[in-house]
Structure 1
Amino acid sequence: MNNKPTNTAAGIGIEERIQLKIAEIDKLSDHLPSVVIIHNLQKGMAVEYMSPRGAAMLGFTLEELRNLGEEYHAKFFNPEDVPDYLEKTKYLLEQNNDDTIISLFQQVRASENHPWKWYLTTVKILMWDDENMPLLTIALAYPIDPLHHVTAKVSRLLEENSFLRMNYNRFSKLSEREREVLKHMALGKTASESADELCISVSTTETHRRNIKRKLDTSSFYELTQYARAFDLI
């Protein structure tokens, strides 16, 4: 479904329409249990607007955030989250409609002297230009309570996702049989037990185990288990 509204309004320029749209959002932002951020896609995802709560948390004025331009993302966000953010943003822009919403977890901090804080962020296109190309996105960033039991689970999932991204090239070198043997290794099975279940010889199993450790550059049981868990073998 391509539910894409038309933004053209007779006698009103694009900049004025942007300010009118921002004024609508600003009236409600303080009543929402989230930080509201509006990005300008045609200015390198620069900040056009941030709700007062969010600006205060970062210790910047809205004007200062606008002046940061493209540097805004590198300054406040964990670079480990960038691949997921870019992939989902690309999908959002490809869909280019009013229905598509993406969601992602992000780590944010005001400066290097502050700890990372987790946010669940939802994003959609807010406004299009006169050629119906995406112009503004709106994001609602919800803080995740660090004391909530869900936070620990989310952190583990995100750590696995980060491990997966960083080690995908190494894992991709494993053959299908080696992945089966890795699964058995992570489950604590001996070479003899794996050989019986996979219907191969013990010597072949031991060769696979040596090759797995060489390709993954580790002999640590913990790290081997990380691979198995991150790549859904167990």
Structure 2
Amino acid sequence: MVNLYNSTLTPEMGDMINSHIESFDDIPGVVIIHDIRDWSIVYMSKRGLKLLQSTLEEICSLSNEDYHAKYFNAKDAKDYVQKIGALIHKNSDDEIVSFYQQVKFPSEQDWRWHLSSIKIFMRDVEGRVIMTITTSIQVDAMHHMASKADRILDENNFLRKNYDNFCKLSKREVMILKEMALGKSSMEIANLLCISSTTVDTHRRNIREKLNTKSSFQISNYARAFDLI
């Protein structure tokens, strides 16, 4: 039996978690159970506690804000918090939300990518969600998924930062932006869209002005971040 350091848990809740603990420690990843009433942690498997160099009592004593500020990259949360909220709202056993997040261990300076999946674990007698369970598996730094996750995070940050500029573009300008990012000349774009090359040149100038871009690299960043290429 494991002591669960959360005074809001009923004995029944504690018994349910304890009944699963042996199997949790056999999972090749970290298992975390959150009480969504305040998003506090009520359980973390031994593997996770070892990586964080902490005890269950210490982890459970942290507020949700302190826990995430200490171990997680806040930029990632913008990509998965809404998804988790939708999971709770749907309240279905069939729903699972998966996402990448970066974790920093106490003995290391660099972030480590993890692939986490979360689902509903427990409800109250009225059927309302009160706990979720998360499994988190580290993505090897040498694996191609780690570099892909880095790229996705960079693109998402770029998108949020430049969303207002992108929204200034007309539909025709978005089409031309895509072709610019693919390296096509004004004449090639003109032939593709059945317009004059002079009109394309005008659109290109307007696009660069609206996006405040000066290089092809910046144009490509916009096209990738907004899923044009």
TM-score (structure 1 length as normaliser): 0.87
Q: Are 1:66 and 2:60 an aligned pair?
A: yes
Please show how residues 139-178 of structure 1 align to structure 2 within 5 Å.
139-178=134-173
2:51 to 38, 47, 57: 57
Structure 2: distance between partners of 1:167 and 1:74 = 26
Which structure would you say has the larger RCO, counting Cα contacts within 8 Å and 6 or more residues apart?
A: 1
Unaligned runs of 5+ in 1: 1-12
Structure 1: distance between partners of 2:159 and 2:20 = 38
Structure 2: distance between partners of 1:149 and 1:167 = 27
Q: Are 1:19 and 2:14 an aligned pair?
A: yes
Structure 2: distance between partners of 1:117 and 1:203 = 49
Deviation of the 1:159 alpha carbon: 3.0
Per-residue displacement from partner, 1:46-74 (whole Å, max 9, x unpaired)?
Answer: 11111111112112221111111122122
Q: Are 1:46 and 2:40 an aligned pair?
A: yes
Structure 1: distance between partners of 2:55 and 2:152 = 34
Structure 2: distance between partners of 1:194 and 1:188 = 10
Residue type of the partner of 2:171? E
Deviation of the 1:113 alpha carbon: 5.4
Unaligned runs of 5+ in 2: 1-7
Residue type of the partner of 1:180? M
Structure 2: distance between partners of 1:29 and 1:37 = 9
Matched length: 221
1:3 counterpart residue number: none
> Which of structure 1's runs of 4+ aligned residues deviate more than 3 A?
none
Structure 2: distance between partners of 1:228 and 1:78 = 26
Alignment RMSD (CA, Å)? 2.0
Secondary structure class of the residue paired with 2:163: helix
1:219 counterpart residue number: 214
TM-score (structure 2 length as normaliser): 0.88
Identity of aligned residues (%): 45
Residue type of the partner of 1:222? F
Q: Is residue 14–residue 129 contact of structure 1 (8 Å, CA) maintained in 2?
A: no
Residue type of the partner of 1:129? D
Q: Is residue 92–residue 102 contact of structure 1 (8 Å, CA) maintained in 2?
A: yes
